[in-house]
Amino acid sequence: TQKSSVLKLLQISYRLIDSWEVPSKFLGNPNQISE
């Protein structure tokens, strides 16, 4: 559904922002990637 697509986009956006702002935290928390 469209809602699912938007949610997926938000997830990817947060993931990218997190990796840019705190790369060490992103790499140190593999659980965040799956969540």
Give me the residue spans of the domains in the chain. 2-34
According to the model, what pLDDT value does residue 31 have? 59
Phi-psi region of 22 (alpha: psi -120 to 50; beta: other; left: phi over 0): beta
Q: Name the residue type at position 17.
A: I
pTM assigned to the model: 0.43
Q: Mean pLDDT, 10 residues at a time, over the chain (35 residues)?
A: 91 79 60 53
**Euclidean distance between CA atoms 25 and 19, whole angstroms:** 8
Identify the pLDDT of residue 28.
62
Model pLDDT, residue 22 = 59
How confident is the model at residue 15, as a pLDDT? 82
